[in-house]
Amino acid sequence: MFNIKENQTTVKKEILAGMTTFFTMVYIVVVNPSILSGTGVPFDQVFTATIIAAVIGTLWMALSANFPIAIAPGMGLNAYFAVSVVGSSNGAVSYHTAFSAVFTAGILFIILSLTPLRKQLIEAIPANLKYGITAGIGLFIAFVGLRGAGIITANEANLVGLGNLRSPEVILTLIGLAFSVVLMVMNVNGALFFGMLFTGLIAFFTGQLSFEHGVMSMPHLPEKLIITNPLTAFGDVIHYGLYSVVFSFLLI
Ranges assigned E (strand) in the chain: 152-155, 159-162
The predicted pLDDT at position 57 comes to: 92
Predicted confidence (pLDDT) per residue in 81-103, tens digit: 998 899 888 888 999 899 999 99
- Cα–Cα distance for residue pair 141/78, rounded to 1 Å: 9
Evaluate whether residue 3 is within a structural domain.
Answer: no
Give the amino acid at 169: E
- Cα–Cα distance for residue pair 141/161, rounded to 1 Å: 17
Task: Kindly state the average pLDDT of the residues 117-137.
Answer: 87
Model confidence at 5, pLDDT cuts 50, 70, 90, reads confident
Q: What total number of domains does the chain contain?
A: 1
Predicted confidence (pLDDT) per residue in 28-63, tens digit: 898 899 899 989 988 888 988 899 999 999 999 989
The predicted pLDDT at position 22 comes to: 87
For 220, other C-beta atoms within 10 Å of its C-beta total 14
Evaluate whether residue 61 is within a structural domain.
Answer: yes
Evaluate whether residue 217 is within a structural domain.
Answer: no
Task: Kindly state the average pLDDT of the residues 145-161.
Answer: 87
Predicted confidence (pLDDT) per residue in 197-249, tens digit: 899 999 999 988 888 777 787 777 766 666 677 888 899 999 999 999 999 89
Evaluate whether residue 4 is within a structural domain.
Answer: no
- Residue 160's domain comprises 11-210+227-251
Residue 134 has pLDDT above 90, yes or no: no
Predicted confidence (pLDDT) per residue in 100-126, tens digit: 999 999 999 899 888 888 888 888 889
Evaluate whether residue 205 is within a structural domain.
Answer: yes
Residue 76 has pLDDT above 90, yes or no: no
Predicted confidence (pLDDT) per residue in 161-202, tens digit: 999 999 999 999 999 999 999 999 998 877 888 888 899 999
User: Strand, helix or coil at 135?
Assistant: helix
Indicate the pTM of the whole model. 0.75
- Cα–Cα distance for residue pair 111/199, rounded to 1 Å: 43
DSSP 163: -
Evaluate whether residue 31 is within a structural domain.
Answer: yes
Evaluate whether residue 219 is within a structural domain.
Answer: no
Q: Which helix (H) or strand (E) holds 35?
A: helix 28-36
User: Strand, helix or coil at 61?
Assistant: helix
The predicted pLDDT at position 224 comes to: 62
Closest Cα to residue 28, out of 94, 75, 81, 91?
A: 75
Evaluate whether residue 115 is within a structural domain.
Answer: yes
Q: Which helix (H) or strand (E) holds 162?
A: strand 159-162
